[in-house]
Amino acid sequence: MQTNPTHPTHTSLVAVGDSFTEGMSDLLPDGSYRGWADLLARRMAARSPGFRYANLAVRGKLIGQIVDEQVDVAAAMNPDVITLVGGLNDTLRPKCDMERVRGLLTEAVERLTPACGQLVLMRSPGRQGPVLERFRPRMEELFACVDELAQRHGALVVDLYGAPSLADPRMWDVDRLHLTAEGHRRVAEAVWQTLGYAPEDTEWHTPMEATLPPGWVTRRVADARFAKRHLLPWIGRRLTGRSSGDGRPAKRPELLPYEGPAA
């Protein structure tokens, strides 16, 4: 993880991406999602009166859609910080043109870099299990591109993929695709530190204490529930060309003063 040696005060943040940046599955009582970007904005706002925040992320978006729908909007806002996380949804598709993904990610970085004070990229976290192993080569190809672009354009990289704590299945929601509230809290801490702020949790990357694994019956019941509620609908959307984000607006489309979500 790269860190800035200073302790900056930023006045604006724009978050670009998919469900990870939208905040799924950090569910609030009113049914909306909070997530790491909101938590990060709350911390930054506490240090900078009048701090402004926009979150353009929409669940299910592929890197091409992020480039077409979010990049120019974010660039026009000219914020102090832009976070860009995209491409992972592409790698999870049965057919994925990684050359195209790399090209689109490069285009996004080239358009966003001159439009902000600091661009932040991420190596997304990966949950331990067979899904990660199946798609690991594509993911690591994507992250190699992230590292190369960051070096070339002066972006910061938050290495969540290399954090043992975020690989723990207990950090992931029942859909096995999105982080829990605790996972999002740790991501916010990681980005906070990468931007150069003093750590509030120096152990965010440290794994949780080991516990006895659930029994065979409990695991099979969980597998069946996962397949019915999450896997089969996900497969259905892939087969019909639909996305969970179809028709959804950006989470916070305007760069406005922000007081922050509940802690």
pLDDT the model gives residue 8: 76
Dihedral sign for Cα 210, 179, 136, 190, please. Answer: negative
How many other C-beta atoms can be found within 10 angstroms of the C-beta atom of residue 43? Answer: 18
The 3-state DSSP class for residue 114 equals helix
Phi, psi of 130 (to 5 degrees): -65, -30
Kindly report the average pLDDT of the chain as a whole number.
87
pLDDT over 80 at 95, yes or no? yes
Calculate the CA dihedral of residues 213, 35, 16, 47 and round it to 10 degrees.
-130
pLDDT over 80 at 245, yes or no? no
pLDDT over 80 at 2, yes or no? no
